[in-house]
Every structure is written in C-alpha cells, then in structure tokens.
C-alpha cells in the first residue's frame, strides 16, 4: 500500500535541505579562502623578513616604510643538530596568545637558523569574528529561506487547492466550469481538461435524466395500447378475425417495446466500448471500408453515395468501434431521409483543428432549435426510436471529438452531419 505523500511537504523539505547544504558549502569555502589568504600573507611577511636578515644582515629594506609592521615580531638565532632541507613554519599557542614561527636557514655550515616569531593573536581574533559573523548571517539567511519556502510552497499549491475546493463543492445539480483566465499559465491545460470532464458529466446527467424519462414514456405508450386493445376485445365476444387483429396489435406493441429495449442495451454496450484500449488507426481507411458497405445499400434504394476523402492518410489513436458507430449513424440517417434518385455525400478534409468527416444528404433538413442529440428526439416522419444521435454524441465525447448537425448552406435542401477529430489525437508518422 502506497503511503500518502504531500507534494508541498516534499518540496519544502527538499528546498530546506538544498539551501542549507548550499549555505554550508559556500560558507566553508569562503572562510577557508579568507583564512588561507590571511595566513599566506603572514607567512610571506615572515619569509621576507628572514630573507632580508639573511641577505642584508638587517630586518629593514627599502620597501618597508611602516615600522608598525614589525610590532609583535621577535627574531632569534638558533643552532640545530641536523640540517633542515626546507623552510619550516608552525603555529603555537601560549597564554591565550597565538604565535606563528618560521625556521629559516642563516648559516648552513654551522647549522645556524633564524627563528622568527610573529604574534598573530589579532589575526586569529579577526578570523573568529569573521566566522561568527558568517554564522549569524547564515542563520538569518536560513530563516529567510524557510520563510521563502513556506511562501513559495503556498503559492505553488494555491491553484491546486482552489481547484480541489471548487471540485469538492460540486454535485450533479451544481456544476460550473473552471475560469481558465484565473489560473496560472502552467495550470491552463489542467483547467481545460477539467472543464471538458465537467461538460461531459453535465451532458451525461442531463441526457441520462432525459433517457429515463423518455424510456418510461416510450414504454408506457405501447403498454397502454396493449391494455386498451385487450379491454375493448374483452367487452364482448368477437369473431376469430377480430381476435387475430387484436393479437397482431399486441404483438406490434411488444415489438416496439423490444426495439426500445434493444436500443437502450446499445447504450450499455457503447459505455463498454468506451473502456476499450485506443489503438492507432488510419481514419481514411476506416471511412473507405464503411462507405463501401453503404454504397451497396444506397444503390439498392435507388440512391447514390458519393465519396471524397482527403488526405490520403490520417493516423489517430482512438476506439475504432466508436468511430464506426458515429459514421454508421450519419450514413443511416442520410439514406433514411434522402428521397430516391438523390445523392448522399461522405467526405473528409483537414482544417486548423484536425480532420473533419462530413456526411451531406438531400432530405428535408432539420429544425436547428431542437436538441436532436437528446434521447428520443425525432425529426421528420420516419420511423425510429430517437437514440441514434444520442449514441453518436456520447461516442464523440468519449474519443475527444466534436459533433455537429446543421442544415446545408450550399443552396441544396438537406442536412450536414460532421465529426471533427482534433489533431492532438493524431500519432506521428515515422518514415524510413
């Protein structure tokens, strides 16, 4: 079982650790550099004094103008038992004072050396003050880093907290889109995705309510017909022909109910298809296969199906069964409402959004003020339950496409049904 982790807490801890490490490393290098620079300066002074004494038999030279330079300095001549191969320098402490001592060759033939000692207590105290100042500055800086980390973490988590609060207060009766313009630029894609999901949920709730109400209404009508016909038949004795006619009416009403139930089951099957794994497919090839099947149906009904597909290839990742369901519904409705001897056109083309699949018929057109994607909405006097476009709209939402139904604008009477597959569903093509 995965432990719950706070992004803000992780960010806060990582920022504190990283800042503390950076401050510690920077301070250590800075102090070591200052200490080495000051010690090197003192060592160079001692060596210069020793060179002057060894060369000129005097501690002074022309370049030394300030007598204060020699305060705290003592020079001795010592004899050693063995010859030193290099200049020796060391540090000693005595009575809270710190001394830096240099052993420098004077006369190697009698093993005499200069022992120059310099009181560097002032320098040592200065280094301690520098170290204490660095510690205080780093402590203040560390506190500021903590305050900055708290403020920054709050600022970064604020959009997520706002989105979470907005979403937690929503229910099926109160759902509002997120205002994208109020979100930081980095969270705009998330806001767009959430709004898309909210719209899908709103449509689902809306259409599900209409579906339940419409199903009850559609089933109630044939049941009322059966009951009324049976009541009339039972009022008095009838001839065999009249009983047969009553049974035929009852059977027709039962068939209508079975048709409604079958369409409702198709809704359940479609919801299952939405859970299928999307696959990479050539949309143009799918359209050509579906159009060839309907071309035979069109010829059988004395109608012509015209096909025009562009481009030659368009790859996308989606559920093929859902795409087939949408295109099939478009073609079925177009052939249903197109009179004999007329034409139905299926075409595809690219625009700035993606690939548009369009089916044009030469029927009576539609009433654009009516939401034909709602369940049990019918247009014209043709038979049907009124769930085809509802299923097509649900399938389009599931694959992230948009669907549109409107009257033709090219001067020909009829309807235009279009499906736009956005480019973000496209797969990159790799050519060798």
Identify the residue with better confidence: 12 or 303.
303
Q: What's the CA gap between 272 and 270, in Å, rounded? A: 5
| Burial tier of 334 (Cβ tally within 10 Å: 0-12, 13-18, 19+) | buried
- pLDDT of 2 above 60: no
Identify the residue with better confidence: 312 or 249.
312
pLDDT level of residue 424 (50, 70, 90 thresholds):
low
| Positive/negative CA dihedral, 162, 168, 172, 174 | negative
Predicted local distance difference test score (pLDDT) of residue 5: 64
Predicted local distance difference test score (pLDDT) of residue 347: 93
- pLDDT of 359 above 90: yes
Mean of the per-residue pLDDT values of the chain = 79
Q: What's the CA gap between 368 and 407, in Å, rounded? A: 8
pLDDT in tens, 159-213: 777 777 777 766 666 677 777 777 777 777 777 777 777 777 777 777 676 667 6
- Domains observed in the chain: 7-144 (3.30.450), 201-273 (1.10.287), 279-425 (3.30.565.10)
Strand partners, 75: 116
H or E stretch including 431?
none
List, in sequence order, every beta strand (DSSP E) within 141-219: none
Predicted local distance difference test score (pLDDT) of residue 59: 57
- Tokens representing 232 are 């009339």
- pLDDT of 1 above 50: no
User: 97-107 and 88-94 as β-strands: parallel, antiparallel, unpaired?
Assistant: antiparallel
Q: How many of the other CB atoms lie within 10 Å of CB of 121?
A: 14
User: What angle do helix axes 121-168 and 188-234 make, rounded to 10 degrees?
Assistant: 20
pLDDT level of residue 65 (50, 70, 90 thresholds):
very low
Predicted local distance difference test score (pLDDT) of residue 389: 81
**For residue 265, is it left (φ>0), alpha (ψ between -120 and 50) or beta?**
alpha
For residue 311, cis peptide bond before it (omega within 30 degrees of 0): yes
pLDDT in tens, 46-58: 888 888 887 766 6
Q: What's the CA gap between 138 and 44, in Å, rounded? A: 32
H or E stretch including 113?
strand 112-119
Rounded alpha-carbon distances, angstroms, from residue 150 to 137, 194, 244: 20, 28, 84
Residue found by looking up tokens 């980390």 in the block: 149
User: 304-309 and 343-350 as β-strands: parallel, antiparallel, unpaired?
Assistant: parallel
Mean pLDDT of 246-273: 71
Vertex 412 angle, CA 407 and 416, to 5°: 35
Predicted local distance difference test score (pLDDT) of residue 296: 84
User: How far, rounded to the nearest angstrom, does the alpha carbon of residue 400 sit from its chain's CA centroid?
Assistant: 16
- Tokens representing 200 are 């899908």
- Tokens representing 252 are 């027709």
pLDDT level of residue 15 (50, 70, 90 thresholds):
confident
Predicted local distance difference test score (pLDDT) of residue 429: 45
pLDDT in tens, 276-304: 678 888 999 999 998 888 888 888 889 99
pLDDT in tens, 322-354: 888 889 889 988 998 899 999 999 999 998 888
pLDDT in tens, 365-423: 888 888 777 766 666 555 555 677 878 888 888 888 889 999 988 888 889 999 998 87
Predicted local distance difference test score (pLDDT) of residue 309: 92
Q: What's the CA gap between 286 and 304, in Å, rounded? A: 20
């Amino acid at each position: 079982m995965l432990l719950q982790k706070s992004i803000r807490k992780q960010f806060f801890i990582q920022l504190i650790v990283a800042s503390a490490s950076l401050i510690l490393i920077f301070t250590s290098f800075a102090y070591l550099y200052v200490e080495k620079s000051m010690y090197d300066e003192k060592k160079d002074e001692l060596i210069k004094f020793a060179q002057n004494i060894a060369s000129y038999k005097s501690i002074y030279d022309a370049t030394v103008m300030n007598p204060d330079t020699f305060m705290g300095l003592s020079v001795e001549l010592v004899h050693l038992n063995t010859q030193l191969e290099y200049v020796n320098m060391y540090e000693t402490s005595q009575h809270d004072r710190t001394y830096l001592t240099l052993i420098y060759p004077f006369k190697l033939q009698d093993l005499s050396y200069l022992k120059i000692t310099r009181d560097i207590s002032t320098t040592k105290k200065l280094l301690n003050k520098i170290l204490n100042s660095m510690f205080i500055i780093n402590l203040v800086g560390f506190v500021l880093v903590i305050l900055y980390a708290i403020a920054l973490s709050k600022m970064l988590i604020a959009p997520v907290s706002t989105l979470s609060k907005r979403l937690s207060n929503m229910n099926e009766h109160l759902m509002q889109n997120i205002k994208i313009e109020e979100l930081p630029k980095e969270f705009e894609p998330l806001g767009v995705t959430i709004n898309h999901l909210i719209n899908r949920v709103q449509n689902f709730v809306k259409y599900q309510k209409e579906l339940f109400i419409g199903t009850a209404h559609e089933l109630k009508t044939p049941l009322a017909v059966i009951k009324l016909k049976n009541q009339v038949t039972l009022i008095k004795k009838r001839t065999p022909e009249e009983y047969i006619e009553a049974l035929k009416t009852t059977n027709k009403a039962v068939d209508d109910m079975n048709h409604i139930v079958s369409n409702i089951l198709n809704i359940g099957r479609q919801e299952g298809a939405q859970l299928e794994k999307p696959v990479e497919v050539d949309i143009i090839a799918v359209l050509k296969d579906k159009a060839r099947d309907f071309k035979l149906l069109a010829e059988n009904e004395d109608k012509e199906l015209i096909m025009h597909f562009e481009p030659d290839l368009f790859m996308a990742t989606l559920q093929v069964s859902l795409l087939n369901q949408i295109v099939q519904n478009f073609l079925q409705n177009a052939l249903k409402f197109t009179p004999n001897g007329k034409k139905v056109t299926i075409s595809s083309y690219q625009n700035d959004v993606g690939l548009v699949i369009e089916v044009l018929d030469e029927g009576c057109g539609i009433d654009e003020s009516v939401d034909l994607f709602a369940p049990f909405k019918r247009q014209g006097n043709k038979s049907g339950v009124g769930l085809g476009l509802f299923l097509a709209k649900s399938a389009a939402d599931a694959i992230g496409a948009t669907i549109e139904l409107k009257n033709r604008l090219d001067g020909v009477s009829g309807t235009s049904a279009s499906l736009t597959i956005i480019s973000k569903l496209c797969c990159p093509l790799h050519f060798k």
